[in-house]
């Protein structure tokens, strides 16, 4: 699986959009970008994933650059409950869907 | 439909004792994954099991650790002769097949004293 690079921490004001970047310059053509988050002391939660097109669901949007070397997770209206560690993972899908390599992630702090 | 259930949520063991961690997957899920999260570190994959079979154990320590997922009952992660370095949060995830997204439980926090 390709390696990813994320900033260690970010702050965001409540109600504003949170934009979390991820670099994955060595991504292969058959690898997907996945995002998870881990709220303090809880199990990781799947957020969204994509291959090359932008994706949106009820939780977030995923913007992948045309060359696929980086992506951005967007939480459109961050709330205090979105404070968590966010992990960007690159993985060949769909096989071994539960086996992921988690890095250090980005600690997002949403402030009132 | 209940989520992935792990028990106990907290487990305290003395050095040298055995720890048994249980994971009941979501209904209809026959694939289970175990992860370990050491204090202040990220999650590390340990083992992937399908009913009665170990599919991938590339992340399992070579000694003292074992995992099973019997035909009936929960998946068990067993740690023999625990040491202080085994203190961590252990998470289990399950999926209906190996090709669909997995859902995580709330974890078992093991403390070795």
Using an 8 Å CB-CB cutoff, list chain A residues near B10: none
Using an 8 Å CB-CB cutoff, list chain B residues near A103: 42
Q: How far apart are CA A92 and CA B45, in angstroms?
A: 16
**Residues in contact with A1: Cβ distance below 8 Å, sequence separation at least 6, in sequence order:** A31, A89, A90, A91, A92, A100, A101
pLDDT (0 to 100) of residue B40: 81
Query: How does DSSP assign B56-92, residue by residue?
Result: E-TTS-SSSEEEE--SSS-EEEEE-S--GGG-EEEEE
Q: Is B80 on the interface with A (CB under 8 A)?
A: no
Using an 8 Å CB-CB cutoff, list chain B residues near A100: 43, 45
pLDDT (0 to 100) of residue A97: 65
pLDDT (0 to 100) of residue A95: 62
Is residue B36 a contact partner of residue B89, using CB atoms and an 8 Å limit?
A: yes
Using an 8 Å CB-CB cutoff, list chain A residues near B45: 99-101
pLDDT tens-place string over residues A18-45: 999 999 999 998 889 999 999 987 899 9
Q: Is B39 on the interface with A (CB under 8 A)?
A: no
Q: What is the mean pLDDT of chain A?
A: 91
What percent of chain A has pLDDT above 90?
Answer: 72
Least confident of A86-90, A91-95, B13-17, B39-43: A91-95
Alpha helices (H) in chain A, listed in sequence order:
none
pLDDT (0 to 100) of residue A96: 64
pLDDT (0 to 100) of residue A40: 87
pLDDT (0 to 100) of residue A3: 87
Q: How far apart are CA B3 and CA A40, in angstroms?
A: 18
Distances in whole angstroms, Cα of residue A82 to Cα of each of A14, A39, A48, B51, B61: 9, 8, 15, 35, 34
Query: Do A44 and B48 make contact, defined as CB atoms within 8 angstroms?
Result: no
Query: Which residue is it, tokens 């070579």?
Result: B62
Q: Is B25 on the interface with A (CB under 8 A)?
A: no
Query: How does DSSP assign A10-22, residue by residue?
Result: EEEETTS-EEEEE
Least confident of A81-85, A90-94, A104-108: A90-94
For residue A94, pLDDT beyond 60: yes
pLDDT per residue of chain B (113 residues) written in tens, 0 to 9:
579 999 999 999 999 999 999 999 999 999 999 999 998 888 999 999 999 899 999 999 999 999 999 999 999 999 999 999 999 999 999 998 877 788 999 999 999 99
Q: Is A96 on the interface with B (CB under 8 A)?
A: yes
Residues in chain B: 113
Query: Do A100 and B45 make contact, defined as CB atoms within 8 angstroms?
Result: yes
């Amino acid at each position: 699986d390709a390696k990813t690079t994320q900033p260690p921490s970010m702050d965001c004001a409540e109600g504003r959009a949170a934009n979390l970047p991820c670099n994955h310059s060595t991504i292969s053509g058959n690898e997907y970008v996945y995002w998870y988050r881990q709220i303090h002391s809880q199990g990781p939660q799947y957020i969204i994933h994509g291959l090359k097109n932008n994706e949106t669901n009820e939780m977030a949007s995923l913007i992948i650059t045309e060359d696929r070397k980086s992506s951005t997770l967007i939480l459109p209206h961050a709330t205090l409950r979105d404070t968590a560690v966010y992990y960007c993972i690159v993985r060949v899908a769909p096989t071994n869907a539960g086996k992921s390599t988690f890095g250090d992630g980005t600690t997002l702090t949403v402030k009132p | 439909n209940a989520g992935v259930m792990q028990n106990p949520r907290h487990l305290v063991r003395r050095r040298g004792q055995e720890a048994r961690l249980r994971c009941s997957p979501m209904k209809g899920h026959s694939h289970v994954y175990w992860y370990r999260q050491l204090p202040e570190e990220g999650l590390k994959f340990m083992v992937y099991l399908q009913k009665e079979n170990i599919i991938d154990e590339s992340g399992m320590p070579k000694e003292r650790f074992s995992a099973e997922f019997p035909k009936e009952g929960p998946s068990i992660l067993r740690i023999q002769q625990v040491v202080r370095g085994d203190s961590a949060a252990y998470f289990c995830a399950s999926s209906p097949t190996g090709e669909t997204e997995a859902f995580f439980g709330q974890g078992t926090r093991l403390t070795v004293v």
